Amino acid sequence: MRSLTRNEVRDVDSRAIDDYGLPGIVLMENAGRNAATLLHSLAAAEGPTGPVTIVCGKGNNGGDGFVIARHLENLGHVVRLLLAFAPADAPADAPDDSVGDAAINLRVAEQSGQNITCLVGANSADWELALDGAAWIVDALLGTGATGPARNSIATAIEAINAARLHGTARVFAVDLPSGLDCDSGVPLGPCVRADVTGTFVARKVGFDQPGAEAFTGPVHVLDIGVPMALLRQIGLA
């Protein structure tokens, strides 16, 4: 299976939605469910484990994180969600908001009574305290569309994830790619998550094959999101 560029990833999603009529929220559900299944199997292979903390941005990568949280909870894990953006019910002057399919899955998490903490604007110490005690940290901050260095709460969250991994016992699971890693070049754009394992969707990304990228991705597992086989054949993935 060949690897995909950023533009090819975007094209696969848009064609699945526009040409085949597959709703984006279905793709997100499949992605999150299969990522949760992978993480569950990894945790089970290591014996008893502790809580899972999922760190979410406001875009579709964060939306995947909300789906992962729901399925991990259904599988018996203790899950906590940390938001690097302000949800819709935050104070009116708070920056950012979740949009689209991600917003729907955030609302599901809220209505389900999941443990959710908004840390937008929090300092490094607050982030590190929130991550303390996690057996696994799920990086669902930035996806393949990111083209510039992480800033503000995203950058602080990335640095805190790396500190928790370095100084504690937590392992890091990156959703699609480590936040801050360029999809095409495999080079950090600025602050960049160092993951122990990456669950990527549809196919590997071309940046993963570049020298030095594995230090950030760890082993990469390719996960199905339900893209029709006909489309996969058209783009040379089947």
pLDDT in tens, 58-99: 999 999 999 999 999 999 999 999 999 988 655 444 445 556
Task: Give me the residues paired with residue 52 across strands.
Answer: 79, 136
| Domain enclosing residue 227, as ranges | 6-234
Task: Give me the residues paired with residue 83 across strands.
Answer: 56, 118
d(CA 229, CA 237): 9
DSSP single-letter state for residue 93: T
d(CA 44, CA 202): 24
pLDDT bin (cut points 50, 70, 90) of residue 50 is confident
Q: Is the pLDDT of residue 198 over 60?
A: yes
User: In this structure, is residue 149 part of a structural domain?
Assistant: yes
Average pLDDT over residues 202-219: 98
3-state class (DSSP) for residue 198: strand
User: In this structure, is residue 117 part of a structural domain?
Assistant: yes
Measured at the CA of 171, the angle between CA 143 and CA 179, to 5 degrees, comes to: 15
How much is the mean pLDDT over the chain? 93
Model-wide pTM > 0.85:
yes
pLDDT of residue 94: 47
pLDDT of residue 168: 81
User: Is the distance from CB of 43 to CB of 126 less than 8 angstroms?
Assistant: no
pLDDT of residue 98: 56
Q: Is the pLDDT of residue 152 over 90?
A: yes
Residue type, 157: A
pLDDT bin (cut points 50, 70, 90) of residue 47 is low
User: Is the distance from CB of 208 to CB of 182 less than 8 angstroms?
Assistant: no
User: In this structure, is residue 18 part of a structural domain?
Assistant: yes
Average pLDDT over residues 170-199: 97
Q: Which residue has the tokens 């935050």?
A: 90
Instruction: Kindly list the distances between the CA atom of residue 92 and the CA atoms of 19, 87, 89, 104, 196, in Å, as whole numbers in the listed order.
Output: 38, 10, 8, 20, 37
For 214, list phi and psi in degrees, rounded to 5: -65, -25
Percentage of the chain surpassing pLDDT 90?
Answer: 89
pLDDT of residue 91: 47
3-state class (DSSP) for residue 83: strand
Instruction: Kindly list the distances between the CA atom of residue 90 and the CA atoms of 98, 112, 231, in Å, as whole numbers in the listed order.
Output: 11, 18, 40
pLDDT of residue 1: 78
For 96, list phi and psi in degrees, rounded to 5: 75, 165
d(CA 7, CA 151): 23
Q: Is the model more confident about 94 or about 100?
A: 100
DSSP single-letter state for residue 85: S
Number of domains in the chain: 1
pLDDT tens readout for residues 110-130: 999 999 999 999 999 999 999
| CATH for 157 | 3.40.50.10260
pLDDT of residue 163: 96
User: In this structure, is residue 147 part of a structural domain?
Assistant: yes
Average pLDDT over residues 134-157: 96
pLDDT of residue 15: 97
26: exposed, middle or buried (Cβ count in 10 Å: 0-12, 13-18, 19+): middle
pLDDT of residue 87: 81
User: In this structure, is residue 1 part of a structural domain?
Assistant: no
Average pLDDT over residues 194-206: 98
